[in-house]
Structure 1
C-alpha cells in the first residue's frame, strides 16, 4: 500500500454562470501534474462553482496557485450577483486530509498557502476552521458577514485585519478564506413554496447557533434562500461532522418543520461530493424507520437513499460521479 500523502481541496469560486471561465479553470487544473479534478458543481442562482480536487500536498499547492491566478484574471466581484454569501472570487479554499496525513498536518499547509497567495497575488487572506488563528474566525460565517460590499469597511477595524496580505480588499477579487477541516457534506433541501421566509425560519431553528435548541443540531450550518431556476426555496446546509449530525436526521427534521408550515418537500441535492459511508448510513436509517430488517448491499442502500431524499428531483444523482470513494485511486 502506498504511503503517499493525499489531501483534498474544495475551492468555491463566485462564478456559476460563465462557462468560459469555468472551463479555463478546468483546463489549468488538467495541466497540473499530481493533481486530479474529481468533480465540478455549478449553481446558477448561487452563482457559485464548487471544485473537488485531490493530490499530494506539494503538487496540489502548486496547482491551486495557478488556479487562483486564473480566477484573479477572470472574475470581477464588483459585478457579481448571486444568492450565496461571499467575500471573494475564490471565496473559500479548504484543505482536507484524505490519506496518510492528519488534520493537524494539514493546518500548516493551509497557512503556508494562504501566505503565498497573499504575497504573490496581493490578495487579503483569512484563515478559518482548524487553521484559524483567532477564535472568532473559526466560523466562516463570521468572516463573511456583511459580504463583499461591506468588506472594505469591515477591514478598517483592527479585529478584522486579514491574517495575510493587504489590509484592504483587492479591488476586483475581494478576499479569500483559506482553511483546514475534515470532510463536510453540503446538503440542500428544496421546499414546495416560493416563500423564502419559511426556509429561513427552518434554517434558524436547526443550525447549531440557534437560540432555540429544540430542533438545533450540533455541527450544522444552515441558511434559507430562493432558487428561481428551481421555482422553489431551499434550506441550504453544511454538515460539518456528518457522523454526528447525519443526513437522515437532518432531512427528517426539515420535513417535520416544513410540514408544520403546510409545505411539502420537493427533494434534495448534494453540492459537490459525499463519502460512501454517509449515504450507506442514511439508507440503513431509512430501512430501520420503515421496519425493514434485511441486509442490503451498498448499491441497494444508495438507491434507497436517493429515492427517499429525492436526490434526482433537480438533476440526476449519479453515484459514480457524486460519491467520493468511487473516484479515488487508493
Structure 2
C-alpha cells in the first residue's frame, strides 16, 4: 500500500484506489544515473533541465519524482517520468546539462562508473507503451546526445541494442565497467567517437522496469560480501530471477547492490519462507513481475548470518514499477513538476 502525507496544501491519496488515467497508459520512466552526488545543487540543476526548457517554461506531461544521492558512491539517480511523446527531449536536456557540469576524468566515488552521464535506461510504465517503442526512443536519445554534445559516446543495451538485445550486465562487462580503472582507449562505442576523459561513455537502453534494492551487511570483508552476492545472483543455481548484483564497500560496511529486473511471466507462488508475493504488472498485453525487496533482504540476511554477520538495513533507490506510475499520475494530475522537493513521505 502506498500512503502519502499532505503536501503544499494538497492531499495526495493512494492512486491504486482510483481508475488508471488515460495519461498513465502512455508514461515512460527514465532512471538517469549521473556520476555526481556531493554537489546536490548541481544534481538538482540537472533534474530541472528535464522539466523546464532553456527559457524556464515547464514541459507539459513531465515530472521528476525523486533524486537519490549517495555521497559515498558519488552517484545520483534522477527519476524522470514523461509521456512517450515527450520523454526524449526531457532526458536529452538533462543529459546535456549533466555533460556540461560533470567531469569524470578524476572519479571520486566507490561505485563503478564510466561516464558523466553513466546510464540512461528507459522503462515503459503504461499499457500503451511497449518496450520496442521505448527502445526506439532510447536509440534516438543516443544519436541526438552524440550530435548535441560534441565528444560524447554511447553504448547501447537491452532492446535498444537491436538485433542482439544484449543485457546491461553483459554490455558493462564488454565495456570494462566493472574494473576499478577501465582502459578507455580500448572501449569501442556504438555511437560517437572514442570516449573522452571528460565525458567518458554513456549506456543508453530500454527494458522492462529495473528496480534498485541495496542491502547493507555489517562487515568490511568484501570477499564475504561477494560470496553473498554470488549466491543470490540470477545466474547462480538457486539465485533470484532477475537479480544482477555487486558487493561494494559503502560507508564502512559492504552493500549488496542489486539491480532487480522485471521478468516476463506470472509471479511465482511464494512459500511461507519467501514472504511477500511477487508484484506483477502488464506491458503490451504481457504479464511481468519482479522479486520483492523483502525476499532479497531475507536471502541476504540469511546468507550473511550463516557467516556470522548481521545486516544494517535495506534501501530502495526510487520506486517499484507500480509505485512509479501511481506517483507520476498523481504528480501530473496536480501539476507538480519538482515532485522530489515536496515534503511527502512514502510508506510501503
The TM tier, using the shorter chain, reads 0.7 to 0.9
Q: Equivalent residue of 1:107, what SS?
A: helix
CA contact (8 A) 1:15 1:47 kept: yes
Distance of 1:154 and 1:178 partners within structure 2: 19
Distance of 1:236 and 1:259 partners within structure 2: 18
Matches within 5 A, 1:211-290: 213=237, 215-228=238-251, 231-241=252-262, 243-276=289-322
2:89 counterpart of 1:62 = yes
Q: CA deviation at 1:198?
A: 1.6
Structure 1 segments, 4+ long, off by >4 Å, are: 146-149
2:49 counterpart of 1:28 = yes
Q: TM-score, normalised on structure 1? A: 0.76
Q: CA deviation at 1:170?
A: 2.3
CA contact (8 A) 1:136 1:142 kept: no
Distance of 2:109 and 2:165 partners within structure 1: 26
Closer/same/farther in 2, CA of residues 254 and 163 from structure 1, 3 Å limit: same
Tell me which residue corresponds to 1:281: none
| Per-residue deviation, residues 165-215 of structure 1 (Å, max 9, x unmatched) | 11x1023011110000111210011112222222111112211233xx2x4
Tell me which residue corresponds to 2:227: 201
CA contact (8 A) 1:188 1:234 kept: yes
Gaps of 5+ in 1: 156-160, 277-321
Tell me which residue corresponds to 1:115: 143
Q: CA deviation at 1:136?
A: 8.0
Tell me which residue corresponds to 1:45: 72
2:153 counterpart of 1:153 = no
| Relative contact order, higher structure (CA 8 A, sep 6+) | 2
Gaps of 5+ in 2: 1-20, 54-58, 263-277, 279-288, 334-348
- Number of residue-to-residue matches in the alignment: 274
2:147 counterpart of 1:127 = no
More helix by share: 1
Closer/same/farther in 2, CA of residues 151 and 66 from structure 1, 3 Å limit: farther
Tell me which residue corresponds to 2:109: 82
Distance of 2:88 and 2:324 partners within structure 1: 24
Distance of 2:307 and 2:204 partners within structure 1: 38
